[in-house]
């Protein structure tokens, strides 16, 4: 590698070609010198010769690649080779240009090469592993790769060359066919479902549709590989529609869904073939956990998953929850109503199979009963497809190849919440779904006798086979007979006319190009309604329901959520409305609809469920509802908040309970099992994790409501929402060599590494603004324990205490400010995510800006978040306070020192931490610390006076500290805490605060 990458040493292209060929044969690329897979100087017609050809890759070698004409000529030459090979073979070829140090991968786009990815090797320190994974991603020649999380991430993840090639090819395919009727319809249905599932966190983005299509097509191909099918021998259409599974009597694994458009458009079959070749490198049948979750998290970017609230439960936790909740797997029917990629299903299936084998139940009977005993539902079509393959992985290849009957994987696309309460799917005697209007503007209905739903597997087979027959070529003069179908499926004569009418509608849909996924819709949407019937309810509910926040729900969902929560006593409202999320209502409604009397449940939920006020209704266990009240008897909970690294982006817990009645319901116990410990990296099983977890019973903070709140609490306010910072915070300049007239300042946006998209990608605002509108602002980072750092500067349209908006005529009196504000408003309108607020409304949200006037001479401020409470006195009445801080008026310096001593003490942080809101850690301080009985300062109280004196001394000590230039505020706070811990007053302050607050 060092020799190949060294461009300084004289060498011929022939020598470099030979060295690269040797590298390919010596590396672990699945190639062998005895096989002519790595060919030099392959003839390419017209006297041309390809330098190196490997499988479906053409490598063109140059002595040196430099931007300019030489690179353009090399790309032109490579284009001819790749185009020629693709035309000759009907396969998708990739081209590589290299001089040994630079490696560039290309694909054809509309007949021309497009650069997809590149890699650089340093001759002095060549990274063999990095080049191996880059090249192997292009060549895709390795075989029998073990599908570990690390290998999947490296070879298929979003950063891999393999993913970039497939992603780019699929994006080009979509761009070419985006307006095709089949593609438009499937994207529309995909967007509607994800909008319902994820609220405003979902954005109907064509890039996301392409990512989901790639993931889904990958999952369908992996499903075949899991059961040992050679995907390279199948037609791409068969891979995506699951024909081989239908033939094998394994239904509901691969279906023609939203993402089958790839085989319906020109060029799609070649894409699927190339994708299958890359995926066939892995031994998927050896996967021993929910590997599809790893694939999803590797292929879908973390920012996308975070925005959509998609985070999956680690296998070890799901395994332990299943083992705890499913106590009699052979007798208990288990439902995960929000199954995601199928992690809980995987472990529930494995638990059932182990129990059946121990009991000596024959395999055929085991599999038949399994699909009745372990069921999954999810509203996310991608999640459903992944979960079906996960279910198959849990069963395992060996069991599927033994003698067995037809089975249907019982994972369904459906709305477990039943927001719309789809009673319209059912009439008195049949189930139906509208497939839209035909060319004659007559609505087509697909109808089936309702009794067929009592046998889920048989119903699925009937629908799937009808759709298959309707899609076959037929003579218009002699339509196919269904006599054989009726006989095989044992359809009663009384039901045959209805099914015949449905078949005729399916034929029309196919002939008009509208068949697509209606049968898929029908089989899936009906399942949650069917499960809600008394005779079909389950014994155990288990899983991780959606944590969709109220503030991220679309307006219609917010209205439904509020109504359903109010009906069940779950709505807290007031200032906590935006903190509430879907999880508690989802659990209450799932218990109400799907859990049998005496059934049990175990759900992963946000940790605030255990002790926050806005979950009080949920903890009560009684969910009033005039139509169908529900009650639960909570039995236990696990507090997972203190595990590190935390398995979720927010603090989590697990709650256990069962369905109850008005006389037997029981609120969530005030004692929880707290889990602490540092988890090993890459641990997947409970056996690997358990030794690192300490479990103890502790009291929760339910009783804090009985504490006397501090009388300061009503007077504490949050600072202003001065966001986005790009539009307000500035650096000032001199105005150049000519300077500026008195009272005006040259300003430009002050940038920060903490900016988020889209603001961080936008250019600076620049202008000249009247000095009176450049105001000092204190941010969270401006505050240290006992000390205020110099304020930031912000352009704020404040005339005294009046906010000058864009419509205020007084704004025209200040042309510099008016120009700046006009720029800022234009940027805000173009990029805001909340379309309802103007920039002025955003700036003065809930009057947090204008309420700071008139400013008192003294204020006490503290940071809104952090692992430790930090507070200081603000002596400057001109300084505005931003929302990273909270503040209250104080009357004397002594009162400020008194409060500073209390708030900066480690004892206060320890007492306040259980009361705090939290994400991954207890770091959202907000106003929670005032739930402690911090008394008003009393100058006549000797204890208060002593605290004030001690606080003054600590304040003086901090003021004398010098900090190295360039260190950030977090490091400063840490250094100050260390200094205060050594201060002579520290021990006495801790003792007084502990005694004062009880």
Q: Helices 518-531 and 496-511, interaxial angle, to 10°?
A: 140
Half-sphere exposure of 878 (CA within 13 A, CB side): 10
pLDDT band of residue 613 (cuts 50, 70, 90) is confident
Q: Are 113 and 75 in contact (CB under 8 A)?
A: yes
Q: Do 690 and 824 fall within a single domain?
A: no
Q: Does the structure show a pLDDT above 70 at 196? A: no
Q: Do 698 and 724 fall within a single domain?
A: no
The whole-number average pLDDT for the span 516-531 is: 65
Cα R_g (the chain), whole angstroms: 33
Q: Do 393 and 504 fall within a single domain?
A: no
Average pLDDT, the chain: 86
Q: Does the structure show a pLDDT above 70 at 425? A: no
The whole-number average pLDDT for the span 305-316 is: 70
The whole-number average pLDDT for the span 818-838 is: 87
- Pick 661 or 405 by higher pLDDT: 661
Give me the CATH number covering residue 30: 3.90.1570.30
Given 531, 555, 575, which residue is the final one in a domain?
531
Look at 14-18, 545-549, 570-574 and tell me which has the smallest mean pLDDT: 570-574
The pLDDT score that the predictor gives to residue 252 is 80
pLDDT band of residue 401 (cuts 50, 70, 90) is confident
d(CA 320, CA 315): 9
Q: Are 234 and 295 in contact (CB under 8 A)?
A: no
d(CA 947, CA 942): 9
d(CA 669, CA 369): 36
Q: Do 585 and 467 fall within a single domain?
A: no
d(CA 99, CA 605): 54
Q: Within a domain: residue 16?
A: yes
Q: Do 284 and 269 fall within a single domain?
A: yes
Report how many domains make up the chain.
5
Q: What is the DSSP secondary-structure string of 120-178?
A: E--SSS--HHHHHHHHHHHH----SB---HHHHHHHHSTTSHHHHHHHHHHHHHHHHHT
Look at 468-482, 549-563, 830-844, 940-954 and tell me which has the smallest mean pLDDT: 468-482
pLDDT band of residue 705 (cuts 50, 70, 90) is very low
pLDDT band of residue 706 (cuts 50, 70, 90) is very low
The pLDDT score that the predictor gives to residue 835 is 64
d(CA 669, CA 672): 7
Q: Does the structure show a pLDDT above 90 at 519? A: no
Over residues 117-133, the pLDDT tens digits come to 999 998 888 888 899 99
Element containing residue 684 per DSSP (H, E)? none
Look at 47-61, 720-734, 855-869, 984-998 and tell me which has the smallest mean pLDDT: 47-61
Most confident residue range from 107-116, 175-184, 395-404, 870-879: 870-879
The domain of 194 spans: 168-413
57-61 and 94-98: which strand pairing?
Answer: parallel
Q: Within a domain: residue 148?
A: no
Given 496, 531, 566, which residue is the final one in a domain?
531
Q: Is the peptide bond before 604 cis (omega within 30 degrees of 0)?
A: no
Over residues 774-791, the pLDDT tens digits come to 999 999 999 999 999 999
What b/e readout covers 36-52, taking b as 16+ CB neighbours within 10 angstroms? ebbebeeebeeeeebbb
Q: Within a domain: residue 418?
A: no
The pLDDT score that the predictor gives to residue 435 is 67
The pLDDT score that the predictor gives to residue 36 is 42
- Pick 201 or 939 by higher pLDDT: 939
Over residues 716-747, the pLDDT tens digits come to 999 999 999 999 999 998 777 777 888 899 99
pLDDT band of residue 704 (cuts 50, 70, 90) is very low
- Pick 765 or 626 by higher pLDDT: 765
Alpha carbon distances (Å) from 925 to 698, 720, 820, 870: 22, 17, 35, 10
Q: Within a domain: residue 147?
A: no
pLDDT band of residue 55 (cuts 50, 70, 90) is confident
Q: Do 253 and 378 fall within a single domain?
A: yes
The whole-number average pLDDT for the span 887-895 is: 96
Residue found by looking up tokens 């309420």 in the block: 851
The whole-number average pLDDT for the span 72-93 is: 88
Q: Do 442 and 498 fall within a single domain?
A: yes
The residues near 911 (Cβ < 8 Å, ≥ 6 apart) are: 932, 997
Look at 307-321, 419-433, 461-475, 825-839 and tell me which has the smallest mean pLDDT: 419-433
pLDDT band of residue 517 (cuts 50, 70, 90) is low
Given 531, 551, 581, which residue is the final one in a domain?
531
783-784 and 774-778: which strand pairing?
Answer: unpaired
Q: Do 699 and 721 fall within a single domain?
A: no
The residues near 355 (Cβ < 8 Å, ≥ 6 apart) are: 329, 330
Q: Do 758 and 903 fall within a single domain?
A: yes
pLDDT band of residue 946 (cuts 50, 70, 90) is very high
Q: Do 874 and 751 fall within a single domain?
A: yes
- Pick 414 or 901 by higher pLDDT: 901
Q: What is the pTM of this model?
A: 0.71
The pLDDT score that the predictor gives to residue 289 is 67
Q: Does the structure show a pLDDT above 80 at 390? A: yes
Q: Does the structure show a pLDDT above 90 at 417? A: no
Which of 749, 634, 794 is closest to 702 using CA atoms? Answer: 634
The pLDDT score that the predictor gives to residue 250 is 85
The pLDDT score that the predictor gives to residue 972 is 95
The pLDDT score that the predictor gives to residue 34 is 46
Q: Helices 363-373 and 456-470, interaxial angle, to 10°?
A: 90
Q: Supply 112's token pair.
A: 């021309």
Q: Within a domain: residue 654?
A: yes
3-state SS string over 823-876? HHHHHHHHHCCCCCCCHHHHHCHHHCCHHHCCCCCCEEEEECECCCCCEEEECC
Q: Within a domain: residue 827?
A: yes
The pLDDT score that the predictor gives to residue 427 is 63
Over residues 948-967, the pLDDT tens digits come to 999 999 999 999 999 988 89
Q: Within a domain: residue 151?
A: no
Q: Do 879 and 960 fall within a single domain?
A: yes
The pLDDT score that the predictor gives to residue 370 is 94
Q: Do 228 and 336 fall within a single domain?
A: yes
Q: Within a domain: residue 618?
A: yes
């Amino acid at each position: 590698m060092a020799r190949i990458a060294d461009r300084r040493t004289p060498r011929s292209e022939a020598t470099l070609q030979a060295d690269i060929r040797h590298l390919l044969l010596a590396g672990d690329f699945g190639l062998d010198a005895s096989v002519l897979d790595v060919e030099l100087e392959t003839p390419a017609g017209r006297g041309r010769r390809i330098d190196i050809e490997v499988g479906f890759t053409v490598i063109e070698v140059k002595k040196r690649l430099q931007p300019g004409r030489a690179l353009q000529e090399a790309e032109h030459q490579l284009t001819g080779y790749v185009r020629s090979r693709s035309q000759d073979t009907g396969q998708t070829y990739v081209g590589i240009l290299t001089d040994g140090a630079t490696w560039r991968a290309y694909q054809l786009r509309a007949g021309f090469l497009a650069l997809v990815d590149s890699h650089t090797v340093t001759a002095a320190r060549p990274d063999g592993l990095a080049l191996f994974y880059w090249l192997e991603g292009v060549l895709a020649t390795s075989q029998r790769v073990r599908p570990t999380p690390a290998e999947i991430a490296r070879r298929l993840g979003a950063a891999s060359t393999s993913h970039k090639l497939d992603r780019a090819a699929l994006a080009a395919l979509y761009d070419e066919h985006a307006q095709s009727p089949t593609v438009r319809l499937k994207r529309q249905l995909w967007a509607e479902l994800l909008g319902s599932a994820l609220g405003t966190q979902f954005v109907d983005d064509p890039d996301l549709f392409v990512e989901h299509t790639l993931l889904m097509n990958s999952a369908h191909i992996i499903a075949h590989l899991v059961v040992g099918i050679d995907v390279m021998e199948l037609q791409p259409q068969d891979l995506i529609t699951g024909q081989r599974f239908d033939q094998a009597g394994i239904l509901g694994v691969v279906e023609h869904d939203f993402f089958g458009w790839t085989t319906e458009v020109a060029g799609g079959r070649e894409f699927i073939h190339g994708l299958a070749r890359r995926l066939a490198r892995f031994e998927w049948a050896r996967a021993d956990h929910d590997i599809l979750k790893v694939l999803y998290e590797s292929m879908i970017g973390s920012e996308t998953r975070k925005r959509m609230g998609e985070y999956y439960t680690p296998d070890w936790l799901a395994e332990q929850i299943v083992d705890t909740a499913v106590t009699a797997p052979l007798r208990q029917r288990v439902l995960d109503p929000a199954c995601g990629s199928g992690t809980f299903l995987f472990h529930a299936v494995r638990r059932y199979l182990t129990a059946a084998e121990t009991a000596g139940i024959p395999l055929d009977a085991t599999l038949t009963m399994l699909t009745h005993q372990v069921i999954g539902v999810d509203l996310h079509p991608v999640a459903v497809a992944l979960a079906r393959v996960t279910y198959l992985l849990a069963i395992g290849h060996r069991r599927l190849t033994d003698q067995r009957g037809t089975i249907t994987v019982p994972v369904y696309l459906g709305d477990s919440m039943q927001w719309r309460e789809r009673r319209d799917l059912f009439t008195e005697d049949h189930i139906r779904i509208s497939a839209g209007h035909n060319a004659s503007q007559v609505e087509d209905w697909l109808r089936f006798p309702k009794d067929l739903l009592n046998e889920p597997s048989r119903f699925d087979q009937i629908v799937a086979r009808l759709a298959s027959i309707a899609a076959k070529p037929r003579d218009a003069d002699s339509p196919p007979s269904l006599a054989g179908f009726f006989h095989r499926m044992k359809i009663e004569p009384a039901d045959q006319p209805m099914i015949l009418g449905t078949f005729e509608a399916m034929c029309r849909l196919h002939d008009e190009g509208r068949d697509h996924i209606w049968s898929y819709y029908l089989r899936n949407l009906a399942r949650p309604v069917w499960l809600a019937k008394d005779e079909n309810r389950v014994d155990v509910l288990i899983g991780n329901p959606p944590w969709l926040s109220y503030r991220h729900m679309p307006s219609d969902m917010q209205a439904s959520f509020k109504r359903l929560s109010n009906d069940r006593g779950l709505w807290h409202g007031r200032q906590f409305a935006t903190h509430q999320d879907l999880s508690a209502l989802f659990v209450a409604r799932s218990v109400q609809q799907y859990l049998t009397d005496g059934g049990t449940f175990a759900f992963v939920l946000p940790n605030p469920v255990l002790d926050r006020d806005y979950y009080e209704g949920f903890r009560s266990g009684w969910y009033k509802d005039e139509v169908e009240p529900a009650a639960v008897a909570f039995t236990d909970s696990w507090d997972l908040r203190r595990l590190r690294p935390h398995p979720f982006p927010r603090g989590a817990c697990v709650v256990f309970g069962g369905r109850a009645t008005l006389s037997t319901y029981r609120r969530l116990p005030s004692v929880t099992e707290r889990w602490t410990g540092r988890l090993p990296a890459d641990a997947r099983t409970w056996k690997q994790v358990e030794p690192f977890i300490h479990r103890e019973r502790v009291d929760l903070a339910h009783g804090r409501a009985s504490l006397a709140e501090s009388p300061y609490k009503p007077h504490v306010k949050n600072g202003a929402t001065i966001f986005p910072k790009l539009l307000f915070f500035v650096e000032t300049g001199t105005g150049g060599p000519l300077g500026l007239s008195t009272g005006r300042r040259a300003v430009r946006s002050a940038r920060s590494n903490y900016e988020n998209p889209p603001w961080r990608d936008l250019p600076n605002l620049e202008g000249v603004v009247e000095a009176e509108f450049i105001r000092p602002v204190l941010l969270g980072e401006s505050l240290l324990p006992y000390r205020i750092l110099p304020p930031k500067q912000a352009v704020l349209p404040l005339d005294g205490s009046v906010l000058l908006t864009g419509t205020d005529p007084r704004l025209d009196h200040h042309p510099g400010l008016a120009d700046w504000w006009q720029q800022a408003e234009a940027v805000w309108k173009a990029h805001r995510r909340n379309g309802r607020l103007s920039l002025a409304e955003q700036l003065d949200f809930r009057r947090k800006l204008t309420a700071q006037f008139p400013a008192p001479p003294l204020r006490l401020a503290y940071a809104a978040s952090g692992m430790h409470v930090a507070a200081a006195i603000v002596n400057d009445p001109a300084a505005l306070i931003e929302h990273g801080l909270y503040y209250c008026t104080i009357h004397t310096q002594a009162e400020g020192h008194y409060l500073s001593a209390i708030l900066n003490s480690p004892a206060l942080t320890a007492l306040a931490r259980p009361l705090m809101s939290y994400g991954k850690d207890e770091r959202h301080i907000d106003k929670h610390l005032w739930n402690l009985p911090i008394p008003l300062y009393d100058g006549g109280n000797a204890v208060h006076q002593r605290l004030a004196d001690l606080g003054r001394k600590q304040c003086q000590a901090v003021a004398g500290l010098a900090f190295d230039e360039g260190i950030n505020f977090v490091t400063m706070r840490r250094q100050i805490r260390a200094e205060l811990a050594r201060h002579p007053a520290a021990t006495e302050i801790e003792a007084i605060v502990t005694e004062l607050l009880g």
